[in-house]
Amino acid sequence: MRYLMLVIALFGVRSLTFYLLERQFPHLIIPLKEQEPDTPFYTQFTGEIISGEGASNRIYTEILFDVPESIKPTACKLEFFIDNTSPKWLFGLHDTFAFNISTLEGIPNKDFDSWNSHPDVGRWVATFEIDREGHVSKTGGDAPCAVDGPVGFLMTPSDESRVGGYTWFEQRYPLHGITLDAGTEN
Examine the pLDDT at 98 and tell me if it is beyond 90: yes
Examine the pLDDT at 9 and tell me if it is beyond 70: no
Q: Alpha carbon of 107 to those of 19, 119, 124, 157: distances in Å?
A: 27, 7, 16, 21
What does the pLDDT look like over 139-177, one tens digit per residue?
999 999 877 789 999 999 999 888 888 888 888 888 889
Q: What is the CATH number of the domain that holds 125?
A: 2.60.120
Residue 4 lies in a domain: no
- Based on the structure, what is the number of domains in the chain? 1
Residue 3 lies in a domain: no
Residue 1 lies in a domain: no
Residue 71 lies in a domain: yes
**Helix, strand, or coil here: 185?**
strand
| pLDDT at residue 11, rounded to an integer | 42
Residue 155 in contact with residue 63, Cβ under 8 Å? Answer: yes
Q: What is the mean pLDDT of residues 65-94?
A: 78
Q: Which domain holds residue 86?
A: 17-185
Q: Alpha carbon of 97 to those of 36, 56, 143, 153, 169: distances in Å?
A: 24, 19, 22, 19, 16
Examine the pLDDT at 118 and tell me if it is beyond 70: yes
The residue ranking higher by pLDDT, 133 or 44, is 44
Extended strands (E) in the chain: 18-24, 28-33, 46-51, 59-66, 75-81, 97-104, 121-130, 136-140, 142-143, 150-157, 164-169, 177-185
Residue 108 lies in a domain: yes
Residue 122 lies in a domain: yes
Rounded CA gap, 137 and 134, in Å?
A: 10
Residue 104 lies in a domain: yes
- Write the Ramachandran bin of 131: left for phi over 0, alpha for psi from -120 to 50, otherwise beta: beta
Rounded CA gap, 93 and 179, in Å?
A: 21
Residue 12 lies in a domain: no
| pLDDT at residue 3, rounded to an integer | 46
Q: How confident is the model at residue 4 (pLDDT cuts 50, 70, 90)?
A: very low
Are β-strands 142-143 and 75-81 bridged in parallel, bridged antiparallel, or unpaired? antiparallel
Rounded CA gap, 107 and 128, in Å?
A: 23
